[in-house]
Amino acid sequence: MKMKKFVSIGLVAVSVLALAACGSKKETKKDTQDDKVLVMATNAEFPPYEYHDGDKIVGIDAEIAEAVAEKLGMELKIEDMAFDSIIAAVSGGKADFGAAGMTVNEERKKMVAFTDTYAHASQVIIVKTDSAIAGPDDLEGKKVGVQLGTTGDIYAGDIKDAEVERYNKGFEAVQALSQGKIDAVVIDGQPAKELIADMSDLKILDEAFTEEEYAIIVAKDNTELKDKINEALKELKESGKLDEIIAKYITAQ
């Protein structure tokens, strides 16, 4: 009887440990979503690539992702989050891929894999219309605003003696510039145009801060999904659909 009782207690203990282990398991997208659902992580504060239109997220990346999902025979679900959370969401399995005007660079390649590029972009400098800042070299020793986690954030750290002010959203950086709290903003070119469209006291400098390429990110080990997205992007490029989507949001200047 004592032996049976000991065995029973042991089994209960094992069961409790097993339940505890299950409870501590890291939840991933696979645990919560159907296999036919493709989850995209983005930051919908980046027009014209992604932004809110009522309760819907729209923009270049959103439409490209929708077209890719359609070619893969899947349903797209967009998860909005802070820009600097996107890579962690993708690499941690909470999202299948990320699309948020994501610039290809060596630092990010250490954490995620990039698909083929789908758009060319540039980092520009926004200043007050009466500012003495005329180009990248004039940012030395200045107070520069950036959106947290963006390429502008990464590159601004290389400006000699600059004081970098980081904001969660691009428009917050632009507002700070308009209010005289900072000297300039470094941000992607197309969103910059949108952000200052109604602000007569601000301008974009002619000389770009950097030139770069945008691509979709997937987990480093998810080569199957990367290959499928690349094939879909190739078809969208060849059919002219990709250019059509971009032209819908970006008109020639």
Per-residue pLDDT of the chain (253 residues; tens, 9 = 90+): 444 444 444 444 444 444 444 444 445 555 545 679 999 999 999 888 999 999 999 999 999 999 999 999 999 999 999 999 999 999 999 999 999 999 999 999 999 999 999 998 889 999 999 999 999 999 999 999 999 988 888 889 889 999 999 999 999 999 999 999 999 999 989 889 989 999 999 999 999 998 889 999 999 999 999 999 999 999 999 999 999 998 888 754 3
Complete DSSP assignment for 95-147? SSEE-SS-B--HHHHTTEEEEEEEEEEEEEEEEETT-S--SGGGGTTSEEEEE
**Contact present, 115 and 215 (Cβ < 8 Å):** yes
Domains of the chain: 30-120+213-249 (3.40.190.10), 121-211 (3.40.190.10)
**Dihedral sign of CA atoms 197, 200, 204, 206 in order:** positive
Nearest CA among 138, 166, 136 for reference residue 154:
166
**Contact present, 189 and 213 (Cβ < 8 Å):** no
- Cα(143)–Cα(217) distance, rounded to whole angstroms? 31
